[in-house]
Amino acid sequence: MGLRVLVVGGGGREHALLWGIARSPLLDTMYCAPGNAGTTRLAISIPVAADDIVGLRRFAVSERIDLTVVGPEAPLVAGLADEFRAAGLAVFGPGAKGAHIEGSKAFAKEVMRAAGVPTGTAAEFTMFSPAMAFVEDHGTPLVIKADGLAAGKGVFVAGSRREAEDALRSCLIEGRFGDAGRSVLVEEYLEGEEASLLALVSDGRVLPLAPAQDYKRALDGDAGPNTGGMGSYSPVPTVDADTASAIVDQIVRPTVDELERRGISYRGVLYAGVILTSQGPKVLEFNCRFGDPETQVMIPRMRSDLLRLLWATAQGEELPASVDWEPGACVGVVMASRGYPAGSSKGDTITGIVEAEALDGVTVFHAGTAERDGVLVTAGGRVLVVTALGADFAQAREKAYKGVGRIDFSGAQWRTDIGARAVGGRTS
């Protein structure tokens, strides 16, 4: 059929999506806005920012784009999909009302309460004093979340009264997150292992993808500050078939049904961040888009035609009964630049990617990269994700780290324990 595809975004997630789409016989041409130095190997880069909805729509209309796939959450929350659909353009991603499930933590909680979805109890506050009184009553640990989008920085695990006070003060008094933090949720702290279960949602139909797990902390052993994600693996041994079914039946389907009951038809991916508690899986967060860096370890395992799945979802069509996956495991290690996550260094020459990708099963996805005078250089905090497929987690890990060892740039930093906890675990 020859589809002309536009992918919106410029990180490792978008590079992985393009890589998966490129394998489809349905593809004609791909564009990426704005893209990075890695995406330009697969797609024509368009110098339009991911949040420039008018510019993106103008491009999609003039270039007769058949399908637009949106990577990041901000343009979805801002209504990109509604604008595109109003212009008769097919888009993978929910409209603003559906994306509100990520755009407002309070809305997500309210939907979960109405749908009977298991999640931590929470209370919403806009004023500092009543929020602190709630903290005094309930004690710590507690989780404090800015209601709106805060670029992954608006969630605080408060282990002490002092930490809770600091988090509430920064949101409600100092306005650190602007409007996104004018309202906060103070939420029960849940204990257990975390996992991400993403599902394609096509007007009420649900197709679960393979579970994945990411690593949010900067340093080995889950120490150090929170980051955008320092690595990931898929599948997740602790999410066996029964647990995955429980997540779909108790969390994903009821949430989608509740959205439908509210007249919100959802066409895109619903990301459930869950915690496997002793009482079963409970929701930590919902996202309205693919995970980063979970996508980078899911797509290399996907045998099904990704573009066909994205196209069917964007059209609100039937979805297949299941997705076909490579057996074994995929591990992805993020290589970050000097200073990340507090800052990042730019302009350092990157070498060794060709040598890393010469290893069987290794694919390197670019995130913060750019080309300067024909030389590949760093251009952001998270620079690359080195992924490897293996027969099991031990092999996938070994290959991924061998790939990391072949890549060099000044100030490169990475965790050395990505996937370690899964070694020996089931891969199917």
Binding stretches for ligand GLY (CB under 6 A):
214, 229, 287, 291-292, 294
SS (H, E, C) 306-356: HHHHHHHHHHCCCCCCCCCECCCEEEEEEEECCCCCCCCCEEEECECHHHH
For 306: left if phi > 0, alpha if psi spans -120 to 50, otherwise beta; the answer is alpha
- Comparing CB distances to ligand GLY, the nearer of 145 and 406 is 145
- Comparing CB distances to ligand GLY, the nearer of 66 and 285 is 285
Least distance (Å) between residue 102 CB and ligand GLY = 9
Find the residue with minimal CB distance to ligand GLY.
291
- Comparing CB distances to ligand GLY, the nearer of 306 and 334 is 334
Least distance (Å) between residue 289 CB and ligand GLY = 8
Give yes or no for a contact between 336 and 382, defined as CB atoms under 8 angstroms apart: yes
Least distance (Å) between residue 340 CB and ligand GLY = 15
- Comparing CB distances to ligand GLY, the nearer of 83 and 213 is 213
- Give every CB contact of residue 286 below 8 A, 6+ residues apart in sequence: 101, 102, 108, 255, 270, 271, 272, 273
- Comparing CB distances to ligand GLY, the nearer of 132 and 199 is 199
Give yes or no for a contact between 235 and 298, defined as CB atoms under 8 angstroms apart: no
Q: What are phi and psi of 302, to 5 degrees?
A: -80, 120
Alpha-carbon dihedral sign for residues 83, 88, 89, 90: positive
Least distance (Å) between residue 292 CB and ligand GLY = 4
Least distance (Å) between residue 253 CB and ligand GLY = 21
Structure tokens at 47: 């110098």
Query: Which letter does DSSP use for residue 160 in this model?
Result: S
How many residues in total does the chain contain?
428
- Comparing CB distances to ligand GLY, the nearer of 57 and 268 is 268
Least distance (Å) between residue 248 CB and ligand GLY = 19
- Comparing CB distances to ligand GLY, the nearer of 336 and 376 is 336
301-330 residues labelled b (16+ CB within 10 A) or e (exposed): bbebbbbbbbbbbbeeeebeeebebeebbb
Least distance (Å) between residue 214 CB and ligand GLY = 4
